Amino acid sequence: MAWAKQLNAGQTCIAPDYLLVERSVVEEFTGLLVDDLATFRDKAPPTSIVNEHHVDRLEGLLDGHGGEELLPRKADRAARVSPRW
């Protein structure tokens, strides 16, 4: 799952949009997924965002989603480098 979502920054036709996970393993699965995503993020080159407007747009989507961020963002606004979600 982590690999498929990180491939080309999630911009592929095979990137999963959602997962169906049995309640009994949700916490364990989430922990493992976050660990894998952190590993991919730390090894991947940063993704550039075309301009400041789009950095603001993407961060607004994350700020307004109402969910919980399990993996802290790493962003360099001056370089317009994405938070590598």
> What digits encode the pLDDT tens for the residues 31-68?
999 999 888 888 877 777 778 888 888 888 888 778 88
| Per-residue model confidence (pLDDT) at position 58 | 83
Three-class secondary structure of residue 76 per DSSP: strand
Question: From CA 3, how far away is CA 7, in angstroms rounded?
Answer: 6
Q: What is the pLDDT of residue 80?
A: 66
DSSP string, 14-36: T--S-----GGGHHHHHHHHHHH
pLDDT confidence of residue 2: 81
Coil, helix or strand at residue 1 = coil
pLDDT score recorded for residue 41: 80
* pTM, to two decimals: 0.66
